[in-house]
């Protein structure tokens, strides 16, 4: 039976949930969706599989909480007010995450399942929103509304392709070129 809001949570249950969610997030980032099984998370967290199944009956239930944790832990660079400089910082941070090989494995598992599982589609969308929040916020502050989504797709897509599909370094020169091209196509709010 679900606890009502305001009801105290047993500290042991809270600790178990925290430990399992952390272990599942770590496994998901290190080894991907396929390797993040109830058995593996139970081993990492030090709890029984029965405990995990009681709280997370399906793999999607377990992934939902793990991805929520990953999203909560996400950070975005601070902004300076200079659009190009801030985009450079935000896209560099995304490129670093991708080059570490963690996020691309995570996305690959979710994308694979998103075509046939609505829960996985929701997780895919949440990860994308989290990964692009910093860039989207910058673009929204500086571009006309109808230029935000195309510019976001160009910038994030370029970094994603370079880092994951091409396996190349996302250099400062590459980012400068991509940013300049995207902003050249977009109309800045101040230029209306």
- The encoded tokens of residue 18 equal 């925290």
**Do 185 and 91 fall into the same domain?**
yes
C-alpha distances in Å from residue 111, one per residue of 27, 34, 40: 17, 12, 21
CATH number at residue 19: 1.10.10.60
Residue 99 lies in a domain: yes
Residue 129 lies in a domain: yes
**Do 92 and 135 fall into the same domain?**
yes
Residue 45 lies in a domain: yes
Task: For residue 86, give its domain range.
Answer: 74-191
**Do 109 and 162 fall into the same domain?**
yes
CATH number at residue 115: 1.10.357.10
Residue 67 lies in a domain: no
110 CB-contact burial (10 Å; exposed 0-12 / middle 13-18 / buried 19+): buried
**Do 136 and 187 fall into the same domain?**
yes
What's the pLDDT score for residue 6? 54
Give tens-digit pLDDT for 50-99: 999 999 998 888 888 988 888 787 777 788 889 999 999 999 988 888 77
Model confidence at 104: pLDDT above 60: yes
Residue 163 lies in a domain: yes
Q: How many distinct structural domains can be found in the chain?
A: 2
Model confidence at 118: pLDDT above 90: no
Give tens-digit pLDDT for 172-181: 999 999 999 9
Residue 125 lies in a domain: yes
Residue 2 lies in a domain: no
- The encoded tokens of residue 139 equal 């673009």
**Do 180 and 91 fall into the same domain?**
yes
Give tens-digit pLDDT for 12-62: 888 999 999 999 989 988 888 888 899 999 999 999 999 999 999 988 888
61 CB-contact burial (10 Å; exposed 0-12 / middle 13-18 / buried 19+): middle
**Do 91 and 166 fall into the same domain?**
yes
What's the pLDDT score for residue 37? 92
């Amino acid at each position: 039976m679900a606890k009502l809001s305001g009801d105290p949570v047993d500290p042991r249950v809270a600790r178990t949930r925290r430990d399992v969610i952390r272990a599942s997030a770590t496994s998901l980032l290190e080894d991907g969706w396929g390797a993040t099984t109830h058995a593996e998370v139970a081993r990492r967290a030090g709890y029984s599989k029965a405990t995990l199944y009681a709280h997370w009956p399906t793999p999607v239930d377990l992934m939902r909480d793990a991805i929520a944790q990953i999203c909560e832990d996400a950070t975005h660079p601070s902004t300076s007010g200079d659009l190009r400089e801030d985009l450079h910082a935000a896209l560099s941070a995304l490129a670093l995450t991708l080059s570490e090989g963690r996020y691309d494995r995570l996305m690959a598992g979710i994308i694979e399942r998103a075509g046939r599982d609505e829960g996985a589609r929701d997780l895919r969308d949440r990860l994308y929103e989290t990964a692009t929040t910093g860039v989207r916020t910058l673009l929204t502050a500086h571009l006309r509304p109808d230029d935000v989504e195309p510019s976001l797709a160009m910038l994030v897509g370029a970094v994603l392709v370079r880092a994951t599909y091409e396996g190349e370094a996302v250099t400062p020169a590459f980012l400068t070129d991509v940013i300049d091209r995207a902003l050249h196509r977009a109309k800045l709010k101040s230029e209306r």
